[in-house]
Structure 1
Amino acid sequence: MSARTKSRRRALDVLFSADVRGDTIEQALEAESLRAASRPERANSWPYAREIVQGVIDHEDEIDLLITRHSTSWRIERMPAVDRGILRMAVWEARFNDEVPVGVAIDEAVELAKELSTDDSPKFVNGVLNAIVKEPALGS
């Protein structure tokens, strides 16, 4: 598993944890930062995981608006928490991180959905993300 894939898993853990516990993403990020500082064996995957989570925090309103606009099957509040986290992370990578090719962001998100969510989730995640990346970015 690549370092970036591990980082995405860690970022998803933070987003999922915040969601199911009812914490803010900032609170979950801080808690994970403290854990990461005490686990040097995980040092390689933490910087990018932190960047992803901070990116989701910084663009949360726009990310959720995009997901809401392009999810015809589910309101964002009704989605499984893991799907919501995967989508938020992937939208940030595809829309706000120029270092990650859009196709990679989508492929990684679909793989996480296959592994961690329902049987219908990979198709759902793929459809929502493909619709989002086809929409012109604000200010374009």
Structure 2
Amino acid sequence: MNARGGHTVCTTVAEDGSENRTGKPVAIKAKGWAHSFPVSGGVRAGRRWTRRKLESLPWTADEPQTVDAIVLAVSELLTNAHVHAHSDARLILTWDGECLQVSVHDEDPTLPLQRHPQAGEVSGRGVGIVRMLADELEMKCQRHGKTVSACFRPAAGGR
């Protein structure tokens, strides 16, 4: 039931693009957390916070590599927000049963570029690292900043 006492009605879209409007109530199950991390000390705190939140999901004990990939992606995305946007970062983790979505919002509307740093350079790899680790990567400009989101699908399907 939604806040007004009604049910959520969904239209399901199959891979072939066809729709199924049943009008029947659909239970939407998702688990999520959100937290803001300040420029000073936020990256380390963000890694710890993420690891603690992931411990509550049923698949994480069996997939330590996926957990490590998610924590590394969080580290890179928070670092980018702090270094390039010079702003606090809002981290949102959402688990919908198939994908662990990591979203980081900052106050700079400029989308990050994937650089190709030279050997020996100590920066410029964040977006490339996240792109390699995640199953999907999406960047959106918004009126008051941008959001970079990465989707991680556990190998066992989260079961």
TM range (shorter): 0.3 to 0.5
Structure of greater Rg: 2
TM-score of the pair, normalised by structure 2: 0.32
Higher helix share: 1
TM-score of the pair, normalised by structure 1: 0.35
